[in-house]
Amino acid sequence: MSQAGPVPPPDLLTAARAAPGFMPDDEGRALYEAARAVTVPGPLLEIGSWMGKSALYLAAAARETGRQVVTVDHHRGSEEHQPGWEYHDPSLVDPAVGLVDTLPRFRRTIADAGAEDVVLAVVARSEVLAPLWSTPLALLFLDGSHTEESARRDQDAWVAKVAVDGTLAIHDVFPDPADGGQAPFGVYSRVLASGEFTEMPGTGSLRLLRRG
């Protein structure tokens, strides 16, 4: 009796929908389509990975277009994930150091989806990595910590690295303060006001800008 072969990995978009995280599928699909449509060379880079949901939407596009996805996250969680805050999950705390650690869950998400060949994880604060990074980006996805200070820091560190005709995607952009925090909206507004980017159709809280 022959043994069954290895179980094939799931379709990456299906895996992305099932992965833990906060991105609605319509916004994830829009991110996938934007990444798939970029024509300039370069990697897809995201700031803020959490457990890998958005990375899989990007990975689906990367696999189809022969690119790599680079994810940048310190994996210690944002402010809202810390003890006493709204989205704190005690199961994510590493008891050896007493700090949130989402890296094991992220790695499991990517491995279970069979996406380790296209997703490269960099465990670092984005502002620490940025001075070491020189490759123009085909797409930059900003979805890190949403405090005003950290959002401005990510903008200052990374937006200039988007290639001409490349795409900048910004998540959780809420013009109305009643709908959510204003830091990503501030980044979106400042980038658009710079005149270096033009807006493309977005979906939900996902804004898409192309560098001219």
Give the number of other CB atoms < 10 A from CB of residue 152: 14
Give me 61's structure tokens: 């596009």
What pLDDT does residue 181 have?
A: 83
Whole-number pLDDT of residue 1: 46
Q: Which residues, in sequence order, are bridge partners of residue 69?
A: 44, 119
pLDDT digits (tens), the chain, 212 positions: 445 555 555 699 999 999 998 899 999 999 999 999 999 999 999 999 989 999 999 999 999 999 999 999 998 866 565 565 566 667 677 677 767 788 999 999 999 999 999 999 999 999 999 999 999 999 999 998 888 999 999 999 999 999 999 999 999 999 998 888 899 999 999 999 999 999 999 999 999 999 99
| 3-state secondary structure string across 31-45 | HHHHHHHCCCCCCEE
Residues taking part in catalysis: 146
The answer to whether the beta carbons of residues 126 and 144 sit under 8 Å apart is: yes
CB atoms closer than 10 angstroms to residue 158? 23
Region 12-211: CATH code: 3.40.50.150
> Model-level pTM greater than 0.95?
no
